[in-house]
Amino acid sequence: MTNTIVLLDGALVAENEADRPMVCRLKGIRINVAALPRETLYMLQNGVTAELRTREGHALQVMSEQCINIE
């Protein structure tokens, strides 16, 4: 079984116009996660965990603000 990551639309973007052709070519590439070094996997895990915590905190803030506005 091969573990792969496929990037969704919007997950990989070019910050400047010159990089757009390369980004378009990269969007069709799959990453074999099992082939990555352990250190890289830990870095990815830490980055994903931090992003999820940020999103969770933002979602909780929005929900809290909505509750205040309803009252």
Residue-range domain boundaries for the chain = 1-34, 36-71
pTM for the model = 0.51
Q: What's the pLDDT tens digit per position in 10-61?
A: 777 778 888 888 877 777 777 788 888 999 999 989 989 999 999 898 888 8
Q: Tell me, what amino acid is at 62?
A: V
Q: What's the pLDDT tens digit per position in 60-69?
A: 888 888 777 6
Q: In terms of DSSP H, where are the helices of 1-37?
A: 20-26
Calpha distance 66→58 (Å, rounded)? 12
